[in-house]
Amino acid sequence: MTRRVGLIGGMSWQSTAEYYRLLNELTHERLGGLHSCELLLHSVDFADIEQLQVAGDWDTAGERLASAAVGLERAGAELLVLCTNTMHKVAPVIEAAVSVPLLHLGDATAAAVKRAGLDTIGLLGTAFTMEQDFYRDRLASHGLDVVVPAAEDRALVHRIIYDELCLGVVREESRQAYGGVISRLREAGAAGIVLGCTEIELLIPAGATDLPVFPTTRIHVEATLDHVGIRQR
């Protein structure tokens, strides 16, 4: 018997829609027929969370997401999934508020990188994810060396996420700009690239670069289905 998944989403809704789509598509692929994923979703107003990010008020942001987690648990969720990389900064606050497990995106991503046989990885994400230690250290705890872009490239990557991708805007010039960032990460020693922001997958699809790419949304979804026992027949 599978477990009901609780999604904490809305950061942004663009990537949460990808979570919903992939959870159901991959459930169907694995089980066939009319199967879909049994889940609950609490989608927050990202404008509120983004203001807290900019203000550095991570305590309040953590309280907001922990409250969402508690509500999902009360509604019957048996596994929690936080549909964003950046807000894993407050994952410990969420975990402390509930009794059901939170499937950490950083752990799932690191496992995928290790399965690919890589140990030095480039990280793309929001400035918070690239510059703070909560995500890099989580990857490093699995034995990975993490390379981040230079300051100018970090600013470019962050701007495109918030000004374009979170709004559903996908521009070819931005794809090319990201390609340049990836090339410079390769020169810095990265053997693969973690797309450490769920929206980046809208811009960098599979095959867009000849380096191995690790799309964290799909990785997280696959790990979620494995965790709840929805496996390929």
Return the active site residues: 84, 197
Q: What are 215's strand-pairing partners? A: 195
> CA torsion 152→210→11→105, rounded to 10°?
-110
CA nearest 224: which of 112, 144, 89? 112
Helices (H), 56-166: 58-74, 91-97, 105-115, 127-131, 133-140, 151-163
Peptide bond into 12 cis (omega under 30): yes
Instruction: Give the Cα separation of 111 and 105 in Å (integer).
Output: 10
